[in-house]
Every structure is written in C-alpha cells, then in structure tokens.
C-alpha cells in the first residue's frame, strides 16, 4: 500500500527478512517443539534461537524470556503474577501507562489490591520526589513504562528501580515502545520484569515476551502444558516467535543507524512544523524521549479533522494510542500532563520509522501546512 506512514508507534511493517524467517519456519519448522522426534527438534532449534535473539536485545539470559501473545499479555502477566508473589503493599504505577497496565491495575483493585497512581510533570516525567514519598508506605510492586507510546518520553526507570528494590518491591517496566529504538539492558536497569512486543520493532503482531529475572518464581497466568517453563502453557506461536527473534537481531545490528535516521527525520518534521506553522507546540520532553516520536498541539484545531485531511492525502498519523482512537476521548496521557481538554484534542502524534525518507517528510509538512491553513480559515468564516 502506497502512502506516507508516520505511525510507527502504533505498529511497524514487518521487515522482509522477518517475513522470510516466518515463511521458512512455516515450511520447514512446523513441528511441535515439545516433540522429541526430528521434526520437533527442528522446531525446538528455531525456538531456542529466537529466545537467544530476544534475550540478546535486552541483555538477558535466554532462560529468562517467556514468549507471550504480545505486550498486553506480558503486562498482564507481570502485574497479576508479580502481585501474587510480592511482599504486602501497594502497586505503584504512573498516570500515563498504556491501558494494558492501567486496566490490569483496575482489575487488581477489584481483587482487593491497592494501587497508587503517580502523577507526571508537564513534560510527562514521573517526579522522583513523589516516588520517594510513595515508597514511604509498603510497596509490593512498581510498574513504570520505559518510553511512553504517545509522547516518546523516557522515565528514569533505572533510578526508580534502585529505590524500589531497596524497599523490597518487585520492579516491572513496559519496554514495548523503547525496545529496538534505544539500547536496553535489564541488568543496568535493575528490573525484575520487562515487557516486549514484536510488532513495534518490525516483527509480526500477536507475539511478545516477558523477561522474568532468574530467581523470581511467578505463578502462571495460562495453565496447561509444560511450555515456557510452565509459566505460559500452550503450543508456541512458532512463526511469530521466529519472526520476533529475527526482528530483535536486526534491531540490535541496526539500532544506531535506525535511531540516527529517525532522529534526523523527526527533528526535520518537528522543526518545520513548529517554525512554519503558528500556534503549534511540543507535548512531552524535548530531550528525554525516543528518537522517532513527536507529539504536537495545533492551537484552535481539532486534531481529528487534521488527521482526516492528512489521511485523504495518503498520510497516516495518529491521535495517540491506537487503542484510544475509537473512544473519541482526549488522550488521557495529555490530560495527565495538565493539558486542557481542547489542547489534548488538538494534538497529533507523529512517529517516524526506518522506511521514511526526507522527501516524505517535506511532502507531509506541505500537506499539514495547507490543511492547518484551510481548517483555520474555515473556523474564522
């Protein structure tokens, strides 16, 4: 499909080498990796290789990787299973987590767990003093995303993990958006649990992983067979896992080039809009953020109108998390930053990726500039 795709935080197009790996797995690695015969062992070899590739991306041991059906399942397992074994206390999380975390927290509250939602500052960063104050009360777990999907803002997870661990809490981070875009090391971060999703890093949808630090014994969420060390029963999604492994291998080798490319194009896009179109402003932190993400407010406009205008011209952008796009509510992330309803409704998320070019950015800027002018003129008529 032609068009200019500037929505890489929603999903990415699978890399050709990923597709190749998945097809090869379907053709030659279709055995059940739990079978002891040759067909099973060939599948097991593919599974082991993918596990090692995913582990390498985050500095983990392969035995610490549990394959899941995606980031949502990894978040659910981290919080539900984590709270089942954590010391007594509340679960600390932030107001701008993905719904896979916030809705799981709501479910945990109905089960009698305490949840404390930490606010963020006007640039989307959790205040360390607030974390320290919250840790004065008994904390069972801390779950903080590494990078926010709407803003790209990075949280000081390493520092917060250090403080939380000193209080005996289990630490989880949702690294779904960060993985593949910035270097990650679970030991440096000091986390016990970390969620990943393949489709955000040029892998397939419906597959992800949870890093579970060695020595942390979690109960299963899905019960059944002995797969994934009994932590996640069910015959493995082999083509998905093979593709995920390949995507992680590519992300490692191309991280610097991808990140430089994204930053250059993102900055070009952002600068052109902020300097060329009046009444625009950046949402989120200008520096502490992913290299590919820019969330911009267009004063006096309803971003949905702008998005539709751009879509008609073949340019795909978003209002924020894909899972909120149907609710027509303003982004809860922007409201948490203290933006008004109108400001939140006037904001668009641009997330660039590997295949974008400078020409595409120039074309996108021209389309946005013309659409903003048209929409503003219509308002004043």
Active site residues: 323
**Burial (CB count within 10 angstroms: exposed 0-12, middle 13-18, buried 19+), residue 260:** exposed
Q: Does 176 bind ligand PLP (CB under 6 A)?
A: yes
* Cβ atoms within 10 Å of 220's Cβ, excluding its own: 15
Interaction between residue 208 and ligand PLP (CB under 6 A):
yes
For residue 196, the cross-strand partners are 209
> Does 333 contact ligand PLP by CB under 6 A?
no
Q: Which of 171, 197, 201, 162 is nearest to 290 (CA)?
A: 201
Q: Measured at the alpha carbon of residue 145, what is the angle toward residues 188 and 84, in degrees to the nearest 5?
A: 90
Q: How far is the CB of 370 from ligand PLP (least distance, A)?
A: 30
Q: Which is nearer to ligand PLP, 31 or 70 (CB)?
A: 70
Comparing CB distances to ligand PLP, the nearer of 64 and 174 is 174
The full 3-state SS of 172-225, as one line of letters, equals EEECCCCECCECCCHHHHCCCEEEEEHHHCCCCCCCEEEEECCCCCCCCCECCC
Beta-carbon contacts of 127 under 8 Å, excluding residues fewer than 6 positions away, are 118, 119, 120, 121
Contact string 287-326 vs ligand PLP (x = CB under 6 A): ----------------------------------x-----
Closer CB to ligand PLP, 71 or 82, in the complex: 71
Helix axes 303-312, 358-380, angle to 10 degrees: 130
Q: Smallest gap, in angstroms, from Cβ of residue 27 to ligand PLP?
A: 26
Contact pattern for ligand PLP over residues 50 through 69, marking x by CB under 6 A: --------------------
When asked if residue 243 is in the footprint of ligand PLP (CB under 6 A), the reply is: no
Of the residues 7, 64, 174, 343, which one makes contact with ligand PLP according to CB under 6 A: 174
- Show the binding pattern over residues 79-118: x = contacts ligand PLP (CB under 6 A), - = does not: -------------------x-x------------------
Identify the residue whose tokens are 């402003």.
Answer: 281
Identify which range of 123-131, 171-179, 241-249, 345-353 contacts ligand PLP by CB under 6 A: 171-179
237 near ligand PLP, judged by CB under 6 A:
no
Q: How far apart are CA 344 and CA 330, in angstroms?
A: 6
Q: Give me the residue whose beta carbon is nearest to ligand PLP.
A: 71
Q: Is 197 in the site for ligand PLP (CB under 6 A)?
A: yes
Q: Which is nearer to ligand PLP, 163 or 199 (CB)?
A: 199
Q: Which residues contact 377 (CB under 8 A, 6 or more apart)?
A: none
Tokens found for residue 215: 């020595």
Q: Between helices 238-276 and 16-28, what is the axis angle to 10°?
A: 170
Q: How far is the CB of 14 from ligand PLP (least distance, A)?
A: 14
CB nearer ligand PLP, residue 53 or residue 197: 197
Q: What is the rounded distance in angstroms from the CA atom of residue 293 to the CA atom of residue 263?
A: 8
Does the footprint of ligand PLP cover residue 143 (CB under 6 A)? no
Nearer to ligand PLP, 78 or 368 (CB): 78
Closest CA to 113 of 78, 145, 88: 88
Among 90, 93, 149, 351, binds ligand PLP (CB under 6 A): 149
Q: How many of the chain's residues bind ligand PLP (CB under 6 A)?
A: 15
If one asks whether residue 150 binds ligand PLP (CB under 6 A), the answer comes out as no
CB of 302 to ligand PLP, least distance (A): 23
Token couple for 328: 């027509």
Other CB atoms closer than 10 Å to residue 187's CB: what's the count?
A: 10
Q: Which residues bind ligand PLP (CB under 6 A)?
A: 70-72, 75, 98, 100, 145, 149, 174, 176-177, 197, 199, 208, 321
């Amino acid at each position: 499909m032609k068009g200019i795709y500037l929505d890489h935080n929603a999903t990415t197009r699978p890399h050709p080498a990923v597709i190749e790996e998945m097809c090869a797995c379907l053709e030659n690695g279709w055995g059940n990796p739990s079978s002891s015969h040759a067909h099973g062992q060939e599948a097991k070899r593919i599974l082991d290789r993918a596990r090692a590739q995913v582990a390498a991306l985050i500095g983990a041991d392969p035995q610490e990787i549990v394959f899941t059906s995606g980031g949502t399942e990894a978040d659910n397992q981290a919080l539900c299973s984590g709270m089942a074994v954590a010391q007594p206390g509340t679960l600390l999380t932030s107001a701008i987590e993905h719904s896979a975390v916030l809705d799981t927290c709501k479910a945990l509250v109905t089960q009698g767990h305490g949840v404390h939602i930490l606010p963020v500052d006007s640039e989307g960063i959790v205040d360390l003093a607030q974390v320290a104050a919250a840790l004065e009360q008994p904390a069972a777990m801390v779950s903080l995303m590494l990078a926010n999907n709407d803003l790209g803002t990075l949280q000081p997870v390493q520092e917060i993990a250090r403080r939380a661990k000193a209080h005996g809490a289990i630490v989880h981070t949702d690294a779904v958006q960060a993985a593949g875009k910035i270097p990650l090391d679970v030991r440096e971060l000091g986390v016990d649990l970390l969620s990943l999703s393949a489709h955000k890093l040029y892998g397939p949808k419906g597959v992800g992983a949870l890093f579970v630090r060695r020595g942390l014994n979690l109960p299963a969420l899905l019960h059944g067979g002995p797969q994934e060390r009994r932590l996640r029963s069910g015959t493995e999604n082999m083509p998905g896992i093979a593709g995920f492994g390949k995507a992680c291998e590519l992300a490692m080798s191309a991280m610097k080039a991808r990140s430089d490319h994204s930053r250059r194009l993102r900055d070009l896009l952002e600068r052109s809009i902020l300097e060329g179109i009046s009444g625009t402003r950046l949402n989120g932190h200008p520096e502490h953020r992913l290299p590919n993400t820019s969330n911009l407010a267009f004063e006096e406009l309803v971003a949905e109108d702008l998005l539709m205008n751009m879509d008609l011209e073949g340019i795909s952008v978003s209002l924020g998390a894909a899972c909120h796009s149907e609710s027509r509510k303003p982004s809860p992330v922007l409201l948490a930053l203290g933006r008004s309803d109108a400001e939140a409704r006037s904001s668009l998320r641009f997330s660039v990726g590997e295949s974008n070019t400078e020409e595409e950015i120039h074309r996108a800027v021209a389309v946005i500039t013309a659409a903003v002018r048209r929409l503003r003129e219509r308002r004043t008529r």
